[in-house]
Amino acid sequence: MRFGGTTALAGVDLTVARGERVAVVGASGAGKSTLLGVLDGTVTPSAGKVLVHGTDPGSVRGRELRRLRGRTGTVRQHLELPGQLRVVHNVNAGRLGSWSVSRAAWSLLRPQGTAEVAAALHRLGLADRMYERTDRLSGGQRQRVAVARLLVQRPELVLADEPASALDPALADTVLAVLGELAAERGGALVACLHDPALALRHSDRVVGLDSGRVVLDAAAGSLTVAELERFYGVAR
Ligand SMILES: Nc1ncnc2c1ncn2[C@@H]1O[C@H](COP(=O)(O)OP(=O)(O)OP(=O)(O)O)[C@@H](O)[C@H]1O
């Protein structure tokens, strides 16, 4: 993947299998977010081939593309949750793709499927925030709303870009555990970019390390130590 004169990903050859929880690690600018973008179809690779759920996203259109996209869910680093909407609407946005236009429109007046929204928020410690305006929440609370959105979407492939960056250690563990469970519920996979080496090792089966867009580490999480991983973040302790 090239952006003008910058090579963000080069020669990446990677297969993620069902049931895997993969932590993607690497220093800032290593290509982690670009890799997730290529997987969820928001970044079109300048060369090479990507298959998601066995399909090249660039080869399908219309309903087939929407169905394919519905099977992948992403929590982004700079998530854009419309602040003026209440939490319930932002969570329900996760399943707009599976609703009719009339149901989606009606839901803005009378929120639909609130039991599932409440259950998702409860899982993330936000049970009492369902009808609050999203812009009244803290950064960490908004991050969890974005995760709740994935819980109601129920994707098979769960992609997360620093999903715990604004959270305290206990909540970071909760969110990573919930994301792993979500992928497992559909027999899918979790691919998460994580800056915290200990968190990455606790919540992944496999660690993929990027350096200047290349895969320089691909190992079982159980075979790595926190100290070894810190090297990939340029962290000196
Ligand atoms: N839309 C873009 N336009 C131009 N360059 C880009 C774009 N997106 C990424 N890049 C460049 O590609 C490289 C990889 O960026 P990427 O965001 O994937 O890194 P990262 O590992 O996710 O970093 P961080 O940990 O800081 O989020 C960087 O050099 C970045 O400047």
Give 77-125 pLDDT, tens digit per residue: 666 788 888 999 999 887 877 767 777 777 777 777 889 999 999 999 9
CA 43 / ligand 1 centre spacing (Å): 11
127, 185 Cβ separation under 8 angstroms: no
* Residue 28 Cβ < 6 Å to ligand 1: yes
Confidence of residue 23 (pLDDT cuts 50, 70, 90): very high
CATH number at residue 179: 3.40.50.300
Any atom of ligand 1 within 6 Å of the Cβ of 209: no
Task: Write down the pLDDT at residue 235.
Answer: 53
Atom 25, ligand 1: which residue's CA is nearest?
Answer: 28
106: Cβ below 6 Å to ligand 1? no
Q: What is the pTM of this model?
A: 0.92
| Closest C-alpha to ligand 1, atom 24 | 28
Query: Domains in the chain: how many in total?
Result: 1
Domain of residue 113, residue span: 2-236
pLDDT at 236: 42
Give this complex's ipTM: 0.96
User: For 166-179, what is each residue's pLDDT tens digit?
Assistant: 889 999 999 999 99
